[in-house]
Amino acid sequence: MLTSETTRVALVTGAARGIGAAVVTQLADQGWRVVAVDVCEDLPGVDYPLGTKQQLLELADRWPDSVVPVVADVRDATALRAAVAEAEHRFGGLDAAVAAAAVIAGGRPLWETTDTEWDVLLDIGVRGVANLAAAAVPALLRRPQPRTGRFVALASAAGHRGLWHLAAYNAAKHAVVGLVRGLATDLRGTGVTATAVSPGSTRTAMLDASAALYDLTDVEEFARHQLTERLLDPAEVAAAVCWLCHPDSSAITGTVVHADGGFTA
């Protein structure tokens, strides 16, 4: 638990449910102040329901003094700058930014992938991460020396392995890994780090949507690809993310933590 003298501030996108919500939960439980961001609406090109404003508000209601809900689209750079400004205004600064917003689309060969699917995967999954970095990193650098700012992006096991009929999603997640490596290099010597976490098959609404793309009747079939021989819980992945947000993770930058249950082993 953080003391009042060491209270840290985070901004988390994709916060209404899934891994993003689990990150908000764990950070708030550890005494962080959190700006929780989610688009809270369904989007063209995404063939399953996304998180809702009600889910975001219910999450924030658990910590009314610590978690501020913000409805914003990661494709909107201005909206993310406003969310960062809210963190600085409300809590005095920003110490960590977590890019957890993502969607899945596909289920067909690369040559049949539609422009709409490409657009939503790249605009949310890659440009959304870049937008958050562009908004948050200046705030992380505004903290006084010695800085301990952290930028953490959710990649995927798909950023390291080819997945059948998900080439565009593969491309987006490989891009997240490359973005983090480049960002970490830009941040050399500043005390601010940039890392990625690559989950395996995790029990979320997005995994249910993935099963639907493959016409699977049981999402548990994904578990056979992992050494754990079970699906991961969002809290397990969030634990890795939250540790990377902590000052103690200072030796880790420009690389990926594989919280994938052994998927890429």
The strand ranges marked E within the chain are 9-13, 33-38, 67-71, 96-99, 150-154, 193-197, 256-257
> Bridge-partner residues for 194, per DSSP?
151
Render pLDDT for 41-90 as a digit per residue (tens, 0 to 9). Answer: 999 999 999 999 999 999 999 999 999 999 999 999 999 999 999 999 99
Residue 262, both tokens = 């052994």
pTM of the model: 0.97
Whole-angstrom distance, CA of residue 175 vs CA of residue 104:
15
Q: Is 169 designated active site?
A: yes
- Beta-sheet strand order (sheet of 150-154): 67-71, 33-38, 9-13, 96-99, 150-154, 193-197, 256-257
Which of 169, 176, 238, 259 is labelled catalytic?
Answer: 169
Strand partners, 9: 33
Please state, in angstroms and rounded to a whole number, the distance separating the CA atoms of residues 118 and 175.
Answer: 13
Q: Give the model confidence (pLDDT) of 13-33 as tens digits.
A: 999 999 999 999 999 999 999
End-to-end CA distance of the chain: 33
User: Phi and psi (nearest 5°) for 215?
Assistant: 60, 35
pLDDT tens for 181-239 read: 999 999 999 999 999 999 999 999 999 999 999 999 999 999 999 999 999 999 999 99
Going from the N-terminus, what domains does the chain have, and what CATH number goes with each? 9-257 (3.40.50.720)
User: Cβ neighbours of residue 184 under 8 Å, at least 6 residues apart?
Assistant: 193, 194, 195, 253, 254, 255
Signed CA dihedral, 189, 81, 15, 66: sign only: positive
